[in-house]
Amino acid sequence: MTMTIETSSAAVEQWVITTVVPALAERGALPAEAAAAIASVAAPDTPPERRKLVADELRDNSWSLAPVDREIVWLIAGIMAPRSRWMLDTTSLPDRLIDELGLRQTVELARTNAVVLAALVANHPRIAAMAAALDAIERVREELADRDWSPEAQRLMWAAARLADQADLSVVINTSPDGLRMQILDVPEVLLDAPYRAGVDQGGYRVRDLDLRPIITEILALDASLPHSKDAVWPAGASERREQLYVRAWHMARAADWPVGVDHDPADQERPLVAVITLPNGVQLRGHVRPGRLPEQDADVIPWDGRPRDLAGIVAWLVGAC
Give, rounded to a whole angstrom, the gap between the first and last alpha carbons of the chain: 65
Say if residue 206's pLDDT is above 70.
Answer: no
What pLDDT was estimated at residue 86? 44
Quick check: bond before 47 cis, omega within 30? Answer: no
What sign results for the dihedral spanned by CA atoms 56, 60, 61, 65? positive
The pLDDT tens digits for 118-175 are 989 988 999 999 999 999 999 999 999 988 888 889 999 999 999 999 999 999 888 7
- Residue with the larger pLDDT of the pair 53 and 308: 53
What pLDDT was estimated at residue 162? 92
What pLDDT was estimated at residue 270? 85
CB atoms within 10 A of CB 195: 21
CB atoms within 10 A of CB 288: 18
Q: Tell me what the mean pLDDT of segment 284-296 comes to.
A: 88
- Residue with the larger pLDDT of the pair 322 and 248: 248
The pLDDT tens digits for 181-194 are 899 999 889 999 99
Q: Tell me what the mean pLDDT of segment 292-299 comes to.
A: 83
The pLDDT tens digits for 20-70 are 999 999 999 899 999 999 999 999 999 989 999 999 999 998 888 888 888
Question: Are 299 and 260 spatial neighbours (Cβ–Cβ below 8 Å)?
Answer: yes
What pLDDT was estimated at residue 321? 67
What pLDDT was estimated at residue 89? 44
Say if residue 2's pLDDT is above 50.
Answer: no
What pLDDT was estimated at residue 305? 64
Alpha-helical (H) ranges within 20-124 are 21-27, 32-39, 48-61, 67-80, 93-101, 103-110, 114-123
CA torsion, points 47, 52, 55, 57, in degrees to nearest 10? -110
How would you classify the pairing of strands 170-176 and 273-278? unpaired
What pLDDT was estimated at residue 6? 60
What pLDDT was estimated at residue 90? 41
What sign results for the dihedral spanned by CA atoms 82, 84, 86, 90? negative
Alpha-helical (H) ranges within 111-235 are 114-123, 125-143, 151-166, 213-225
| Rounded Cα gap, residues 119 and 27, in angstroms | 24
| Rounded Cα gap, residues 298 and 294, in angstroms | 9
The pLDDT tens digits for 60-103 are 988 888 888 888 898 898 888 765 544 444 447 888 899 999 99
What pLDDT was estimated at residue 322? 58
In three-state secondary structure terms, 191 is: strand
